Amino acid sequence: MTALDFKGRAARAMHDPQLSAALLRVKSHFVTGRNMAAARFADFETLRDRAAAIRRRSIARMPDLLERFEASAEAAGAKVHWAADAAEARSIALGILKAAGAKTALKSKSMVTEEIELNAYLEAAGIQPIETDLGEYIVQLRGEKPSHIIAPAIHLSKQDVADTFRSHHTDLDPERDLSQRNTLVREARVKLRAAFLSADAGITGANMLVAETGSIVLVSNEGNIDLTATAPRLHVALVGIEKVVETWDEAGTILRVLARSATGQDMSSYVTCLTGVAGEGETGPKESHIILLDNGRSAVRDTDRREILACIRCGACLNHCPVYASIGGHAYGSIYPGPMGSVLSPAIDGLKAHADLPNASTLCGRCEEVCPVRIPLPKLLRHWREDGFARHLPPRGERVGLGLWSWMAGRPLAYGLSQRLARLGLRTLAWMQGGRVRRLPVVKGFTATRTIAPPKGGSFQARWKGPR
């Protein structure tokens, strides 16, 4: 997926009626659910304040907490690896799987493994990754990428899923009835159950690393993570270095805001906590590896965008974003879509690869209003815009226009004159076009879907000075 033609992809997405119908469900399900869950909790705003403070404290103390996590995890029998970038993380993971002779690897939903494009790499090396989250399983069968960080198949209808299953599950009766959602869920359950009981390795991400005990914490609703991380003889977790917190008390508070903000649940159906390896008489793998991934995270910590590292990947900013609601996840051209993605993706891949993303926002501020850890996403997007402008990334026309505006806005006489000319121009156009401005020259797109009333009276400045 290339990130270079964001505008084209966005335009296509906005004219896709099926996608629009799917995106309406984001609003009716996730947004309503989150609001109800927040209202049920006695003092959700205070809980958010605490979660925000916990994440910022964790980022400030990151090196100490990571070292403590490593020591605790290794004392419990896990092996901790450090990867500077995606290539190193992939090669460490492959090395572990090869050394254990693994041919198949279950996978739970993990944004970090999407970020480093692990599946394609493993397949090329002869290891079959099997996505076990239903949404991820569906998009894997279709050869697509997830379009939402917690609801990967949100862009698809149940008919799409039925068609996908019919064309891939060729051992089943082609005439079977797949018109009901629960039949589709049941079919995936049976298909994947066989994989759970036979795969050589399990690969997961992590929602948190708990430094005091060296544990990793994961959440799911399907129960697939519990099986992925405990059924095979080998477990590999890939985790961004920003996911660390110090204590279980801190982890508990994050879990309370996470599920409420993500799906509107008070608690995710399954919270899976993994510490070290299985001891004598315990169920679970005897070999466990945790790969800590940097991939741009430590660099962004040294900038005024460091608060994006507080993100707990709940998806609330996507769900509440009017731009995401119009174009869906794929149009962003990054595995992390929506407001958090538009801040994080340039930090991971470089601003040049995602120059349009900081502008893929109206800065309306709803994302910041609902962010459980109070990340000031509009402010961080503006920082990227400033960076982009300073590096001459926007197209020439846009830069010249902004330059002109900036020159004029600093000179009251020129500004006043330009406003007078604009008023005159709009009135003339309205007179010519039958009372309202229906077609603007140069910026034709602006009047493609709206008309403008001619300006009445003097300028705002004149009215402000005059009798009020």
Partner 1 sequence: MSSRAAILARLRAQASAGPSAAAQPPYRPTPVDDLGARLLERAKTVLATGEAVASLADIPAAVARYLASHELAAEAAVAADLAGLSWAASGICVLDAPSRRSVPASVAFAPAAIAETGSLMLTSREAPWANLLADTHFAVVRRGDILPSLEEAVGRIGGNRLPRSLHVVTGPSRTGDIEQTLELGAHGAVRLHIFVAP
Residues from 244 through 263 that contact partner 1 (CB under 8 A): 248-250, 252-253, 255-256, 263
Among positions 167, 269, 362, 428, the unique one binding partner 1 when judged by CB under 8 A? 269
Of 115, 131, 133, 349, which one interacts with partner 1 (CB under 8 A)?
133
User: Quick one: which of 298, 447, 451, 459 contacts partner 1 (CB under 8 A)?
Assistant: 298
Specify the length of the chain in residues: 468
Mapped onto helix, strand or coil, the DSSP state of residue 28 is helix
Structure-block tokens of residue 345? 């993706």
Question: Which of these segments, 8-16, 94-102, 227-235, 428-436, binds partner 1 (CB under 8 A)?
Answer: 227-235
CA atoms within 13 A on the CB side of 273: 9
CA gap 220, 426 in Å, rounded: 56
Q: Two tokens at 86?
A: 């995606």
Residue 265 is a binding residue for partner 1 (CB under 8 A): yes
The DSSP 8-state label assigned to residue 454 in this structure reads: P
For 108-168, strand residue ranges (E) read 128-131
Binding part of the chain for partner 1, among 7-15, 219-227, 353-361, 439-447 by CB under 8 A, reads: 219-227
Q: In terms of Cα–Cα distance, which of 35, 33, 91, 447 is closest to 291?
A: 91
Which residue number, 309 or 323, has a Cβ lying nearer to partner 1?
309
Write out the binding residues for partner 1, residues 47-106 only, by CB under 8 A.
47, 50, 53-54, 56-57, 59-63, 66-67, 76, 82-84, 88
- How many Cβ atoms from other residues are within 10 Å of residue 417's Cβ? 12
User: For partner 1, which residue of 97, 188, 290, 437 counts as binding (CB under 8 A)?
Assistant: 188
Structure tokens at 203: 């690969």
Least Å distance, CB 267 to partner 1, is 4
Q: Which is nearer to partner 1, 181 or 420 (CB)?
A: 181
Looking only at residues 136 through 175 of this chain, which bind partner 1 when binding is defined by CB under 8 A? Answer: 138, 151-154, 156-158, 161
Among 13, 116, 184, 357, contact with partner 1 (rule: CB under 8 A): 184
Task: Calculate the alpha carbon distances from 396 to 44, 106, 401 in Å.
Answer: 46, 48, 8
Does residue 317 bind partner 1 (CB under 8 A)? Answer: no
Strands (E), 119-214: 128-131, 201-204, 208-210
Report the SS3 class of residue 167. helix
Minimum distance, C-beta of residue 438 to partner 1, in the bound complex (Å): 39
Among 2, 182, 406, 449, binds partner 1 (CB under 8 A): 182
For residue 202, the minimal CB distance to partner 1 (Å) is 11
Distance CA 426, CA 144 (A): 47
20 is a contact residue toward partner 1 (CB under 8 A): no
Site for partner 1 in 278-297 (CB under 8 A): 278-279, 281-285, 292, 294
Across the beta sheet with 79-83, the strand order is 79-83, 287-293, 234-240, 201-204, 104-107, 128-131
Residues 403-442 that bind partner 1 (CB under 8 A): none
- Residue 221 is a binding residue for partner 1 (CB under 8 A): yes
Cβ proximity to partner 1, 194 vs 448, nearer residue: 194
Taking CB under 8 A as the rule, does residue 226 contact partner 1?
Answer: yes
Give the shortest CB-376-to-partner 1 separation in angstroms: 13
Crossing angle of helices 181-196 and 158-168, rounded to 10°: 40
Residues 318/148, Cβ–Cβ less than 8 Å: yes
DSSP-derived letter for residue 362 is -
Q: Which amino acid belongs to residue 208?
A: M
Q: Check residue 114 for interaction with partner 1 (CB under 8 A).
A: no
